[in-house]
Structure formats: C-alpha cells, structure tokens
Amino acid sequence: MLLANPVLALKEYGIELNKEMQNHVLTTLRHPPKLRKRRAELEQSLCKELGAPPKPTNQTWMADLVFNIRKQEPKSLAGLTPVYLDQLRIESIKRLQEQRPVGRVRYPTRSKVNTRFSLRVADPKPAIRRLDLAAEVPPTKARKTHPAKLSLEDAWFYKDDPIVRDAVELGQIMRRGFPFKTPAQFRALADAETADGFRTFVRKVGVKVGK
C-alpha cells in the first residue's frame, strides 16, 4: 500500500500529512533529483507566464494553450510522427555488432524435411520520454479548424513556440513519474476489489523505530 500511494497509506495508520508535506513526499518519490529540479523550474516559469498551474498531460488544456493562448495556426498531422531519440547510441550499436559471433554452418548435411518458419515482431511504441525536443519540426500543411484535444506527441509539432516547448517537456517529465494510485484506486486495492502488480513480489515492508 505504501507503493500504491504513501500519503494515503500513512493516513490509514493515523499519520495525516499537511498539504505541503503530501506534495513533498509524492514529488520526492516520483522523480530522481535531476528531474525533480527541472520539473520545479518548468512549473514555476509556466505558472508565472500563464497565471495558473500548467496541466500539460491534460489534452484539453494543451489544445487551449496552443491554439487559444499562444494563437498557433492548426496543422494537419495526418500520417506524421514526432522525432524520437534513438533507443541505443550509435557507439553502443557499433560495439555490439563487433562482438556479434560469426555465423557458421551447424548441420552441414541437408535435412530430409524442409521446414519454413517466419516471425514478425510488432514495432515498439516510442516512449514519450524519448521525444526529441531539439529536432527540427518537419513541414506541415495548414488545416481550417483546430482540434479540441492535443496530445503531447501532437503538441511536439508546435514546439517552435518556447512556451509550448516547455509545456511539452514538463508533460514528458510528468509522464515519467511513478504512477501513484488515486484515492478511488487506493480504496479499491485496499478492499481487495482490484489486484496490483506489486503484490506478486512485495511481501513485507519493515520500518525501524528508534527507542
């Protein structure tokens, strides 16, 4: 339950944190120090610029930012995908290729049975954290009306606007955070109405208490 939501788990044991401490606990556990610092910088700058807390993971909010606040012209994005960073660095791929063993004939004689086998693997879905914010946006065609919702992937095509670019980066960081349960999800888990992946390997949590 601590992994599901530490703030709600502590509350179950009679330890209720104030709003400031709740935010501190969840923020500290959600991101490593480097991302935590960058998230705070982006939230502060965007809040100062927009006059309200940013919500880049909300597609309706993102569409309002891009088209109504920043007055960007809508683009036709049919068939287009953002640019993502490579999964592996070129140097790593080259080193792995050099270590690849040379193929050899394992069975020199011809088999009496001819068999055919094919295997296809689905293309991996690029992770949002690998969106390349430094890449150049490809040319796009204009469209008459703008969509009511805009995902982070689609907002990437409007990142030439510095405010939109910061909002997309903040959305990346938010999506990378540890997904704590909402109060409703936490209650369903506590009442055994739903199962959680952590139950398969977390058996016990111990806390040392000083004398």
The pLDDT tens digits for 82-103 are: 999 876 666 777 788 888 888 7
The answer to whether position 66 is within a domain reads yes
Q: How many domains does the chain have?
A: 2
Does 18 share its domain with 79?
Answer: no
Predicted local confidence at residue 1, as pLDDT: 80
The answer to whether position 184 is within a domain reads yes
The answer to whether position 154 is within a domain reads yes
For residues 132-150, average pLDDT: 92
Predicted local confidence at residue 156, as pLDDT: 96
Mean pLDDT of the chain: 85
Please write the tens of the pLDDT for every residue from 41-65. Answer: 999 999 999 999 999 999 999 999 9
The answer to whether position 117 is within a domain reads no
Predicted local confidence at residue 154, as pLDDT: 95
Contacts for 44 with CB less than 8 Å, ≥ 6 apart? none
Enter the pTM of the model: 0.70
Predicted local confidence at residue 23, as pLDDT: 85
57, 175 in Cβ contact below 8 A? Answer: yes
Does 76 share its domain with 145?
Answer: yes
CA–CA separation, 73 and 145 (whole Å): 9
CA–CA separation, 202 and 205 (whole Å): 8
CA–CA separation, 174 and 159 (whole Å): 17
Q: Which backbone phi and psi does 34 adopt, to 5 degrees?
A: -65, -45
Structural domain including 163 reads 55-87+126-177
The answer to whether position 193 is within a domain reads yes
Closest Cα partner for 72 from 195, 164, 137, 10?
Answer: 164
The answer to whether position 43 is within a domain reads no
The answer to whether position 38 is within a domain reads no
The answer to whether position 44 is within a domain reads no
